[in-house]
Amino acid sequence: MAFVSSGYNPDKPMEDRISDIGPRKYDEFYPEVIKKNKGKWLYHEILEPGILVHVAESGDKVYTVRAGGARLMSTSMIEEICDIADKHCDGKVRFTTRNNIEFMVDSEDKVAPLKQDLASRKFAGGSYKFPVGGTGAGITNIVHTQGWIHCHTPATDASGPVKATMDVLFDDFQNMRLPAHLRVSLACCLNMCGAVHCSDIAILGYHRKPPLLDHEYLDKMCEIPLAIAACPTAAIKPSKVDFKGTEVKSVAVKNERCMFCGNCYTMCPSMPLADREGDGIVIMAGGKVSNRITAPKFSKVVVAFIPNEAPRWPKTTEVIKNMVEAYAENANKYERLGEWAERIGWERFFDVCELDFTHHLIDDFRDPAYYTWRQTSQFKF
């Protein structure tokens, strides 16, 4: 391969430079029916799982076919999406916040061929490329982070556990039998690049061993004061260490104060936390972001630790599936998972979801902890 220049001249980086132009303007990419009726929509209806119709004041209708997809996506897949959009949707397509792909058409007769086309496309390995679903009182696509495919801090993979979980929850992606919609999210470490802390069910990667200390390189790789300042529990202090007969500047960690957040590693590459036995998954539940009926809520930790069981994380998916089934069976119509748990009481939630309660689930981090203990004589046996 020979280097092919784009026209950029490294000796004169400012020559013809174009910068600060921002993203492309959204309305260049609107389908015609959207352009015409924007701001004038009257109502919508879900015709069947994955298929919506929106009706405008003008009488125009836009039919949306929503397909799930892996957010980790090759250009081959994007080109295939383009082929479908060119064939059915006048060359326009949209992605949702939750990594779904939305194909829009302007008349009902175009829906069936589009749906059929999407359903017929499969990977060589057998999975669907464009499963239609993800609407209404069901489970839509999982928002997630990078994981082992491209990140330096994860405590679990992202794409793998997501694939394994969505396989287990697939029926609910294509059905709307739940009391309300149920959002699942995954963050592969506590940094949480995504809103998993407010999801009905959250899968969170977590470390359980304090950082290793690479004394030989620590002072060369890191600003020691920054590493110390990074620790939220003040577990790190400066230390002089004997390294093979030479005294080197490094740090010492009070292990019993470590809560394994990994913030030190973010500031200092010589303090890695990753470990096969130490790392795994925390399951959180009962969060939401909508203001509907009740205020938005944080998810609560309901399982303190599940080991990383690559490639299919069977215990993780089993716990999630059980929770979804208990919710489906017991919650009232319109009740989100967290609202249901609050109505029946969390003690009953652990009961019906067949989850063990351990001391790890009682908050002991700063002031908010107190407000999560029970300050009433009301409880259920």
Partner 1 sequence: MAKHETPLLDQLESGPWPSFVSDLKQEAEKRAKNEKGLDLQIPVDVVEDLLGILELSYKHGKTHWKHGGIVGVFGYGGGVIGRYCDQPEMFPGVAHFHTIRVAQPAGKFYSTEYLRQLCNLWDFRGSGITNMHGSTGDIILIGTTTPQLEEVFYEMSHNMNQDLGGSGSNLRTPADCIGQARCEYACYDTQAICHDLTVEYQDELHRPAFPYKFKFKFDGCPNCCVASIARSDMSFIGTWKDDIRIDAEAVKAYVGGEIKSNGGAHAGRDWGAFDIQKEVVGLCPTGCMKYENGTLSINNKECTRCMHCINVMPRALRIGNDRGCSILVGAKAPILDGAQMGSLLVPFVEVNPEDEYQAIKDVIESIWDWWMEEGKNRERLGELIKRQGFQRLLEAVGIEAMPQHVQEPRSNPYIFWKEDEVEGGWERDIDEFRKDHKR
E strand or H helix at 83:
helix 75-88
* Residue 352 CB, nearest approach to partner 1 (Å): 19
Query: Closest separation between CB of residue 100 and partner 1, Å?
Result: 10
11 is an interface residue for partner 1 by CB under 8 A: no
Least gap, CB of 258 to partner 1 (angstroms) = 13
Q: Are 348 and 340 in contact (CB under 8 A)?
A: no
Adjacent-strand bridge partners of 251: 238
Question: Binding to partner 1 by residue 293, rule CB under 8 A?
Answer: yes
Dihedral sign, CA of 321, 322, 328, 334?
negative
d(CA 65, CA 102): 6
Decide: helix, strand or coil at residue 285.
strand
Q: Which stretch binds partner 1 (CB under 8 A): 156-164, 242-250, 342-350, 373-381?
A: 156-164
Residue 117 CA to residue 67 CA, distance in Å, equals 12
| Alpha-carbon span 177 to 138, nearest angstrom | 6
CA distance 226 to 234: 12
Q: Contact with partner 1 (CB under 8 A): which of 108, 167, 347, 354?
A: 167
Residue 91 or 113: the one with the smaller Cβ distance to partner 1 is 91
Q: Supply the DSSP string of 3-44, one letter for each residue.
A: ----S--TTSTTTT------SPPGGGG--HHHHHHTT-EEEE
Give the nearest distance from C-beta 245 to partner 1 in angstroms: 28
Judged by CB under 8 A, the residue of 109, 124, 245, 246 near partner 1 is 124
Rg (CA), the chain: 25
Binding of partner 1 by 140 (CB under 8 A):
no
Residues 170-199 that bind partner 1 (CB under 8 A): 170, 173, 175-178, 181, 187, 190-198
DSSP class of 271: -
Residue 20 to residue 158: CA distance in whole angstroms: 32
Closer of 15 and 240 to partner 1 (Cβ): 15
Name residues contacting partner 1, limited to 53-92 (CB under 8 A). Answer: 54, 62, 64, 68-79, 81-82, 85-86, 91-92
Contact flag: residue 279 with partner 1 (CB under 8 A): yes
Q: In this chain, which of 103, 130, 327, 346 binds partner 1, going by CB under 8 A?
A: 130
Q: Which is nearer to partner 1, 86 or 325 (CB)?
A: 86
Nearer to partner 1, 46 or 248 (CB): 46
Using CB under 8 A, pick the residue from 150, 237, 249, 374 that binds partner 1. Answer: 150
Q: How many CB atoms lie within 10 A of CB 152?
A: 11
Stretch in the footprint of partner 1 (CB under 8 A) among 9-17, 247-255, 319-327, 346-354? 9-17
CB of 242 to partner 1, least distance (A): 26
How many chain residues bind partner 1 (CB under 8 A)? Answer: 146
3-state secondary structure of 217: helix
If one asks whether residue 252 binds partner 1 (CB under 8 A), the answer comes out as: no
Q: Does residue 359 interact with partner 1 by CB under 8 A? A: no
Stretch in the footprint of partner 1 (CB under 8 A) among 105-113, 235-243, 285-293, 341-349: 285-293
- Contact flag: residue 343 with partner 1 (CB under 8 A): no
Q: Which CB contacts under 8 angstroms, 24+ apart, belong to 12-18? A: none
Q: Which stretch binds partner 1 (CB under 8 A): 130-138, 210-218, 236-244, 352-360?
A: 130-138
How far apart CA 146 and CA 153 sit, in angstroms, is: 10
Considering the complex, what minimum distance in angstroms separates the CB of residue 111 from partner 1?
Answer: 15
Q: State yes or no: residue 49 binds partner 1 (CB under 8 A).
A: yes
Nearest-approach distance from CB 244 to partner 1, in angstroms: 23
Q: What are phi and psi of 133, to 5 degrees?
A: 160, -155
From CA 75, how far away is CA 77, in angstroms rounded? Answer: 5
How far apart (Å, rounded) are the C-alpha atoms in residues 212 and 207?
12
For partner 1, the binding residue among 65, 105, 139, 166 (CB under 8 A) is: 166
End-to-end CA distance of the chain: 71
